[in-house]
Amino acid sequence: MILRDPVHGLVSFETTELAIVPQLLDTPELQRLRRIRQLGLSSFAYPGADHTRFAHAVGAAHVMSRFITRLREIHEELPYWQRVTTERARDAVVAALVHDVGHGPFSHLFEAALPEGPRHEVWTRRVIESPETALHKVLVQIDPGLPARVTALVRGEHELPYLANTVSGAFDVDRCDYLLRDAHATGVSYGSFDLDWLLRSLRFGVPDSPTRAPALAIDGAKGLPAIESFTLARHFMFQQVYFHKASRASDYMLTSILARVRQLVEDGTRLEAVPPAIVSIVTSGDASLRDYLALDDGVLWAGLTAWRECADPLLADLCARLVARNLFKTYELFEEERTTEQEEALLGLARSIAKARGYDPEVYVGLDRAKDVPYDDGKDTLRVIFPSGAVRAPADVSFLLGRLRSQVVRRTRLIFPDDVRREFLAARNQGAS
Amino acid sequence: MILRDPVHGLVSFETTELAIVPQLLDTPELQRLRRIRQLGLSSFAYPGADHTRFAHAVGAAHVMSRFITRLREIHEELPYWQRVTTERARDAVVAALVHDVGHGPFSHLFEAALPEGPRHEVWTRRVIESPETALHKVLVQIDPGLPARVTALVRGEHELPYLANTVSGAFDVDRCDYLLRDAHATGVSYGSFDLDWLLRSLRFGVPDSPTRAPALAIDGAKGLPAIESFTLARHFMFQQVYFHKASRASDYMLTSILARVRQLVEDGTRLEAVPPAIVSIVTSGDASLRDYLALDDGVLWAGLTAWRECADPLLADLCARLVARNLFKTYELFEEERTTEQEEALLGLARSIAKARGYDPEVYVGLDRAKDVPYDDGKDTLRVIFPSGAVRAPADVSFLLGRLRSQVVRRTRLIFPDDVRREFLAARNQGAS
Amino acid sequence: MILRDPVHGLVSFETTELAIVPQLLDTPELQRLRRIRQLGLSSFAYPGADHTRFAHAVGAAHVMSRFITRLREIHEELPYWQRVTTERARDAVVAALVHDVGHGPFSHLFEAALPEGPRHEVWTRRVIESPETALHKVLVQIDPGLPARVTALVRGEHELPYLANTVSGAFDVDRCDYLLRDAHATGVSYGSFDLDWLLRSLRFGVPDSPTRAPALAIDGAKGLPAIESFTLARHFMFQQVYFHKASRASDYMLTSILARVRQLVEDGTRLEAVPPAIVSIVTSGDASLRDYLALDDGVLWAGLTAWRECADPLLADLCARLVARNLFKTYELFEEERTTEQEEALLGLARSIAKARGYDPEVYVGLDRAKDVPYDDGKDTLRVIFPSGAVRAPADVSFLLGRLRSQVVRRTRLIFPDDVRREFLAARNQGAS
Amino acid sequence: MILRDPVHGLVSFETTELAIVPQLLDTPELQRLRRIRQLGLSSFAYPGADHTRFAHAVGAAHVMSRFITRLREIHEELPYWQRVTTERARDAVVAALVHDVGHGPFSHLFEAALPEGPRHEVWTRRVIESPETALHKVLVQIDPGLPARVTALVRGEHELPYLANTVSGAFDVDRCDYLLRDAHATGVSYGSFDLDWLLRSLRFGVPDSPTRAPALAIDGAKGLPAIESFTLARHFMFQQVYFHKASRASDYMLTSILARVRQLVEDGTRLEAVPPAIVSIVTSGDASLRDYLALDDGVLWAGLTAWRECADPLLADLCARLVARNLFKTYELFEEERTTEQEEALLGLARSIAKARGYDPEVYVGLDRAKDVPYDDGKDTLRVIFPSGAVRAPADVSFLLGRLRSQVVRRTRLIFPDDVRREFLAARNQGAS
């Protein structure tokens, strides 16, 4: 199979080793990812951000095949039983391909809104391991042990730490693909980094014990810019896309909508167009795999469209706003306002305004706390190995990473309807004068 | 309003002249375009091709604002009543923004499958002119004459031929945007061309009459590469994307599905999930604007999903295949097979095989004739004006365009299920030996 | 060795097989290419076109290493004695690296101006085979047969036709690199093509005889766009860069300057700053390798600078004009003017004007005939092989190549000083009226 | 005039306002910049880095014309006497075009090596103001006051602080062009930033006094990523290109060569091929403008080539090494070695080794201290203005700039011949064990 990908150009899965990839792509479970947007509602903010989890899955598998190529360029320094065999290569590419197969509609939002249900990682494992899925059947036809090995790899577990790193680590294939893909689709050029150079910079680290294979490491000073720029690309994407005010506001609205649906279902209120999986999760904390896999962006959007005319005024109003892209607005809190006291005071002020205007203050005013650690030195076990043999932590030898080490970025915002926001701003300015 | 676009980078509509653009973007009629993919089912062939008509509408308006900038750089050679006034600029940008607002689900497929209904151009006019749409209300609030002027422009009619050209002509803003956008999303780099150079090459032509403003022309030898590469970009996109075998096969399948739905509706067969607009069009040849605008890709996809389990086995089978991306295959006819006789013979052979295998041969075997004229010298009234004052047709001075002048590209294919195709190939080879 | 290249990104020569590359790059013969611009005087027309033959040599070697990778992906269908051994791979990469090592200053101009001297291919062979060069020493240290094999390859001769094709053929590594590099440096985006896709499209053709390895071929319909876009990229670069009027005019001037220098040397006129190699070539038809290799753009430019103040007024004037970029202008002849009669008449007119203005008409007025065949079907032995096994000529199955097949592009221009051109134009217009 | 630029694409100077640009480009003083590489000897490290100061001058003028366009979009908020008049626009574009006209060969190296001579800023002023230059003549023909105004602007002085900022400030046109151009030519993609977004983010700041025009400022939160990415692009270029070990080593060698030439000239030693300007500067501390402008990379390279065979063994050896790209190697000092004591000790060790091997230790061993402040909060007077009216320093509101604020990057290296380096490393390792 040979494909054109807007991010990676020519993508091919043509070797015997990877003959399983086209077979997996033909399963309904992977095809379903065509109907789930990678960035949820972010196309409200970035009109080009309509790319799907399907394209990302193909991209992640492609990046993994490039990692494998690199690992094989350097694995001769390892004992032969620690090298990338055909089986290991195939396992890793399959893991990259299916790592997100359990995602619900609008990606991360669904599980956040229905926390009583299983998380997407659980669904991914079920899709891989359940004998009823076509995906499972393709896997076991190749090798009965494949589902279990793939599940483990998706969790970042493998006898070879370096292979586990590529599926789940600081520079794993998931991040490598989604950063480039999200940057390409949004047009936020800052999100790019040099994948070729990153791959070339990979080498094996020093093993923890003589019997264990090493983790991945970075090759000397030449490799530093690769991880610096990767780290910054990720930071820029967080600041500009994942934390974008319109994205956060629409996420907040969708979460409120699903919370309201849950409540109505719990209360036994009649409501059309509620997908069976949601009813199951709300009433029993779980759903059948078949019902879950029937969910996608389109099904949920059909719900939003229908609920605009439902009997519950709150749900109807929220859905009407979201479908019409009449989004809530935000007010960002800066340094001095980010004390718990200040946050409470501002939230209180906004809610009292909302209440006076006839809104349910708990639903119509939210406090959104987003947080990221651009370079988490504690978590990152990656080491830099110099020609002299010296082994250093990246933040010890990189000017940039040294300055970012374990620093926390916070974005805190009030989220509310435009009219509440306007009155809130007026009240604040009055208070200030 | 300022946006990031993956194709054009920074897109802004900030001048007073264009203050109407953000207002129009907020209408439900334009927001609906977020739910209609620009390339219909082409993402089956190109996994990145999920971009929407909404992004294209914004892009076309942006390209128009760049055309306006160029026209104003050069319009001082015209009498003042032929120049780009504020009103004309706004009219043109609005026309670019809304030119596709009447498209149905999966873009061009819908109207092809239901030919008794109005074409998308009619729906576009209705959306613009109907007092019930939010879009119309925004337009008349600015100027009661705006809807009529915009409708005329969308049809390519304007007192200034050069302005009409930009909305509907060989190098209009529609083509400029969709070629670049489709190339970006599919990863087919050949589809790019140099928009900056094309814009810079525009100048005014020689007017037909002393009282009439001139049409657009190309500025001497420097401008030729711009139109050559535009023409070739378009040709490459046709060959590789618009005529891609998987696209044509899935289009054929969707058309067959809608034809079957029409027949069932005509016959009065009970069928769930048929959108009201389709019922209306089938039964009365038209639909209400409200019903029509309720159509989008998601609504039709919900139908396809539901019909997999309907009572009609033919419809159920076609829908099951399409939803699972189990697409029909193709057999392309080359030069010597493209006589009417040969075509009939091959189609007959394929249909007899299909019939023997239990398929309805009229539905399961199709002959697809695609055709394009990469450089239609007859239609193209664009002229090249040399510094000496000489005026020439592009094909007279361009080596490439001279070779392409009025040449026709044809792609003719049989479309059928994979098993029929295999038997067909075996039968042909036997016949050949 | 690992390098950043603006065209190919990461370039590495790190395998044992290619350990010879860094050694060769360190020789003075290859380092000299840093001082020879790839496009001669074209930076007069394109301010970015200052890239050197050194960067091109590295790029061509890199592209060859990519060809080798592709050939090895597919060579298992060949008998083992026809495959890409380590030795053959190294020979091919070395040939790509050194194929231009014999070029004189300003690339092709030097040999055109001094036709009595050896051509650059001869100098290339001498550099490779002469025991006095460092390059030769590196080669023989690896293998005494290497210089002869490399020389043969550079001439396009090898027992494996497919390998010879890569060094010298329609899509050889030389063209692949220089088209992309010239496009990158000039900013003429039309000159790009999809190298990844081209490489992926390569397969082995049908051998001429059972004992002979096959030539390269293109893999079915998927490969056609790769060669179409390559062919068009080359055509665009010819039209816009290699045939650019300012390039052709400055080439003409430099050729005239060298012709004058030759004449003065022949006449025994005293002239400073004439490089010894030129004196030798003029007086004896050849030069020592040492003298030849002392030539580079800087040495010749030092001559031009010095000759501005020499005693010969003609040489002084031409050099003063060229150094100050006070270039001759051009008048392009179109279709109807391109008969031999018309050309003679126009040349005669221009020369009589020049003479009347006190110029030497033979030197100050030239007729420049440039010519290219964008797709030479006769020369191109490349075949397209379809999945069915059918073998076709590209122009038989490609719409574009079919239209270009053996068509000739001609650009014919008069070249003369600006004042002559102005009078010439005035005379023509008068004649016309 | 219309040009293709590899960095900016289409570059045009066609308005009446900018009619002076093509005239200035035709002067010998600007044409000379074609023969001075922008990055000195960096093409030793990056084979594509052969771009010239001429291309940069054109690029800087183009960026200035884009700044002007932006300033005019927003200058209506200023009193009319503070706006960008035709004269001011022309002055600024001319200043951008000629700001580097006084550079010597290999850019910054020349003045560093001959510190007794005038600096390049002085030469720039002389070229602009001296009645003998063609450039001056073009300027005064337009307006006798132009040379003085341009000189002031190049120094960053203008009655409008915002205009002075664009010529000489944190985000001036010089930096904007050279970062993008150096990134393009070296292939270091990290050096790119989003110029469109940066320009769009510019607005006017708050004036210091009611009678004074404001400086430039950045428009709220949207503008922050533009200056963040600009700052990081610059940092990456410093780390990877301007501080590259091979660049620093070759700079050190060329400086040593010129120092030796100076000494020989001072001593009255006979030496061929010393350009007159160098003799003048060494003997009198200055040179004639004519002699200075005769200097370029080629002239100095001719010297290096000739001096390989001069009588002074030290000079001959250094030149032979540099011409053959047999560069000195480096040893980088990390954190704990960067105390004055440690540096002295390591330098002493290296020099004693060099001496023992017969080298002049002062010449053959150097300590190179490179230093940069990626974000100098003290110098940067740029402010961010929020929609609320709040004015903040960028580092107060940007997570990244906050972490970089006034931080110093240091790169300290020993520079010495390869054999000295090897013995030095061995001695160190022995000492360590």
Q: D50, D177, D186: which to substitute to probe chain C, counting the most C Cβ within 10 Å?
A: D50
- DSSP assignment, residue A424? H
Of B281, B282, B283, nearest in space to B291 by CA: B281
The C-alpha atoms of residue A317 and residue A313 are separated, in whole angstroms, by 6
Task: Please determine, for residue A163, whether its predicted confidence score (pLDDT) is greater than 60.
Answer: yes
For chain A, which chains pass the contact test of at least 3 CB pairs under 8 Å? B, C, D
At C431 the pLDDT is 66
Buried-exposed string B400-415: b where 16+ CB fall within 10 A, e elsewhere: bbbbbbebebebbbbb
Q: Which residues pair with C5 in a beta bridge?
A: C9
Q: Dig out the tokens for B68 from the structure.
A: 């306006």
A79-102 mean pLDDT: 96
Which residues in chain C have their CB less than 8 angstroms from residue D28's CB? Answer: 323-324
Is the Cβ–Cβ distance between A193 and A170 less than 8 Å?
A: no
**Which one of C12, C196, C222 has the shortest CB-CB distance to A9?**
C196
How close A227 gets to chain B, by Cα (Å)? 25
Give the pLDDT confidence score for residue B31 in this predicted structure: 97
What is the structure's pLDDT at C109? Answer: 82
Cross-chain CB nearest to A200 (options C12, C194, C196): C12
Task: Name residue B385's beta-bridge partners.
Answer: B219, B391
Helix-then-strand count for chain A, H and E: 22, 9
pLDDT in tens, D314-326: 999 999 999 999 9
Query: Which chains does chain D touch, 3 or more C-beta pairs < 8 A?
Result: A, B, C
- For residue B411, list chain C residues with Cβ-Cβ distance below 8 A: none
pLDDT reported for residue B292: 97
Q: What is the mean pLDDT of residues A35-56?
A: 96
With the CA atoms of C372, C374, C379 and C385 taken in that order, what torsion angle do they form, in degrees rounded to the nearest 10?
170
β-strands B383-385, B216-219: how paired?
Answer: parallel
Q: Do C10 and A222 touch (CB under 8 A)?
A: no
A-chain residues near C2 (CB < 8 A) = 200, 222
Residues D101 and D128: beta-carbon distance below 8 Å: yes
Q: Which of D65, D100, D121 is nearest to D178 (CA)?
A: D100
Residue D20 confidence (pLDDT): 97
Residue D236 to chain A, least CA–CA distance (Å): 8
Nearest chain D alpha carbon to A230: D190
- Tell me the chain D residues in contact with residue A45 when contact means C-beta distances shorter than 8 Å: none
Give the up-direction half-sphere exposure of residue B139: CA atoms within 13 A in the CB hemisphere: 28
Q: Measured between alpha carbons, how far is B198 from B180 in angstroms, rounded to an integer?
A: 13
DSSP code string of C18-49: GTHHHHHHTSHHHHGGGGSBTTTTGGGTSTT-
Q: Which residues of chain A have a Cβ shorter than 8 Å from any chain D Cβ?
A: 189-190, 192, 194, 221, 225, 228-229, 232, 235-236, 239-240, 332, 334-335, 374, 396-397, 399-400, 403-404, 407, 409
DSSP string for residues in D114-135: -TTSPPHHHHHHHHHH-TTSHH
- Going through A175-287 in order, the beta strands assigned E by DSSP cover 202-204, 216-219
Q: Chain B closest CA to A31's CA: distance in Å?
A: 7
Identify the pLDDT of residue D387: 82
Q: What pLDDT score was predicted for residue C63?
A: 98
Residues in chain C closer than 8 A to D187 (CB atoms): 4-7, 9
pLDDT in tens, chain C (433 residues): 899 999 999 999 999 999 999 999 999 999 999 999 999 999 999 999 999 999 999 999 999 999 999 999 999 999 999 999 999 999 999 999 999 999 999 877 888 889 999 999 999 999 999 999 999 999 999 999 999 999 999 999 999 999 999 998 888 999 999 999 999 999 998 777 889 999 999 999 988 788 888 999 999 878 899 899 999 999 999 999 999 999 999 999 999 999 999 999 999 999 999 999 999 999 999 999 999 999 999 999 999 999 999 999 999 999 999 999 999 999 999 878 889 999 999 999 999 999 999 999 999 999 999 999 999 877 667 889 988 788 889 999 899 999 999 999 999 999 999 999 999 999 988 865 5
Both tokens of A394, joined, read 């990246």
Q: What is the pLDDT of residue B49?
A: 96
Interchain proximity B186–A7, CB inside 8 Å: no
Q: What is the pLDDT of residues D96-127, one digit of tens each?
A: 999 999 999 987 788 888 999 999 999 999 99
What's the mean per-residue pLDDT of chain A?
A: 94
Helix/strand/coil for B77: helix
What is the C-alpha separation between D63 and D99, in angstroms, rounded?
13
Q: Tell me how far CA of residue D267 lies from CA of C348, D112, D115, D118, in angstroms.
A: 61, 21, 18, 22
Beta carbons of B196 and D222 less than 8 Å apart: no
Average pLDDT of every residue of chain B: 93
pLDDT band at D235 (very low <50, low <70, confident <90, very high): very high
Amino acid present at B196: D
Confidence (pLDDT) at B206 = 86
Residue B368 backbone phi and psi in degrees, to 5: -105, 115
- Give, as one character, the DSSP assignment of residue B275: -
Model confidence over B350-375: pLDDT tens digits?
Answer: 999 999 999 999 999 999 999 999 99
Cβ separation of B2 and D222 shorter than 8 Å? yes
Q: Which residues of D touch C3 (CB under 8 A)?
A: 46-47
Q: What are phi and psi of A203, to 5 degrees?
A: -145, 180
Mean pLDDT across D390-419: 93
Asked if A41 and A251 count as a contact pair (C-beta separation under 8 A), the reply is yes
pLDDT at position C221: 78
> With an 8 Å Cβ cutoff, are B10 and D200 in contact?
yes
Beta carbons of A204 and A216 less than 8 angstroms apart: yes
pLDDT of the residue at B16 = 92
Those residues of chain B that have pLDDT short of 50 are none
Half-sphere exposure of C417 (CA within 13 A, CB side): 19
> What pLDDT is stored for residue C348 in this prediction?
97
Neighbour-count burial of A156, counting CB atoms closer than 10 A to its CB (0-12 exposed, 13-18 middle, 19+ buried)? middle
Which of D180, D330, D399 is the mutation pick for testing A, counting most A CBs within 10 A?
A: D399
- Residues of D near C (CB-CB distance < 8 A)? 3-7, 9, 26, 28, 31, 34-35, 37, 43, 46-48, 50-52, 54-55, 58, 184-188, 297-299, 301-302, 323-326
Verify whether the Cβ–Cβ distance C200 to A12 is below 8 Å: yes
CB atoms within 10 A of CB B391: 12
Report the alpha-carbon distance of residue C134 to residue C25 in Å, rounded. 10
Per-residue burial over B370-389, b = 16 or more CB atoms within 10 Å of its CB, e = otherwise: eebbbbebeebbbbbbeeee
Residue A1 C-alpha, separation from nearest chain B C-alpha, in angstroms: 12
pLDDT at D403 over 70: yes
As to burial, measured by CB atoms within 10 angstroms (0-12 exposed, 13-18 middle, 19+ buried), residue C119 is middle
CB D231 within 8 A of CB D175: no
Q: How far apart are CA B297 and CA B288, in angstroms?
A: 18
Half-sphere exposure of B297 (CA within 13 A, CB side): 23
Alpha-carbon separation of residue D92 from A153, C298, D23, D173, D195 (angstroms) = 60, 34, 16, 10, 18
Q: Residue B423: count other Cβ atoms within 10 Å of its Cβ.
A: 17
What is the count of residue pairs from A and B with beta carbons less than 8 Å apart?
94
Residue in D86, D101, D111, D15 with CA at minimum distance from that of residue D52: D101
The whole-angstrom separation of Cα B174 and Cα B166 is 9
Other Cβ atoms less than 10 A from the Cβ of B51: the count is 29
Classify strands B366-372 and B409-416 as parallel, antiparallel or unpaired: antiparallel
- Point out the residue among D51, D186, D187 whose CB comes nearest to the CB of C48: D51
Phi, psi at residue A372, to the nearest 5°?
-150, 150
Q: How close, in Å, is residue D40 to chain A by CA atoms?
A: 22
**pLDDT, averaged across chain D:** 94
Q: What angle do CA D324, D328, D334 make, to 5 degrees?
A: 150
3-state secondary structure of D416: strand
What per-residue confidence (pLDDT) applies to D432?
A: 54
Of A229, A262, A427, nearest to A346 by C-alpha is: A427
Q: Please return the burial class of A355, using the count of CB atoms within 10 Å of its CB with bins 0-12, 13-18 and 19+.
A: middle
pLDDT confidence band for A431 (50 / 70 / 90): low
Q: Which residue has the tokens 């590899």?
A: D6
Task: For the full predicted model, state whether its pTM sits above 0.80.
Answer: yes
A368: helix, strand or coil: strand
Tell me which of D190, D240, D401 to substitute to probe the interface with A (most A C-beta atoms closer than 10 Å): D190
Contacts 24+ apart (CB under 8 A), B84-88: B84/B163, B86/B17, B87/B143, B88/B160, B88/B163
Residues of B with CB under 8 A from a CB of A: 3-7, 9, 26, 28, 31, 34-35, 37, 43, 46-48, 50-52, 54-55, 58, 184-189, 297-299, 301-302, 323-326
Please tell me the predicted confidence (pLDDT) of residue A430: 80
**Helices of type H across A239-393:** 245-267, 276-284, 289-293, 297-307, 313-323, 340-356, 361-364
Q: What is the pLDDT of residue D410?
A: 93
Query: To probe the interface with B, which of D4, D7, D8, D10 has the most B CB atoms within 10 Å?
Result: D10
Instruction: State how far the Cα of D206 lies from the Cα of D216, in Å rounded to an integer.
Output: 9
Cα gap A280→A117, rounded to integer Å: 9
Percent residues over pLDDT 90 in chain A: 83
Chain A nearest-CA distance from D156, in A, is 30
Q: Which H or E element spans position C110?
A: helix C109-113
Using alpha carbons, select from B189, B225, B194 the residue that is nearest to residue C238: B225
Q: From the CA of D43, how many Å to the nearest CA of chain B?
A: 30
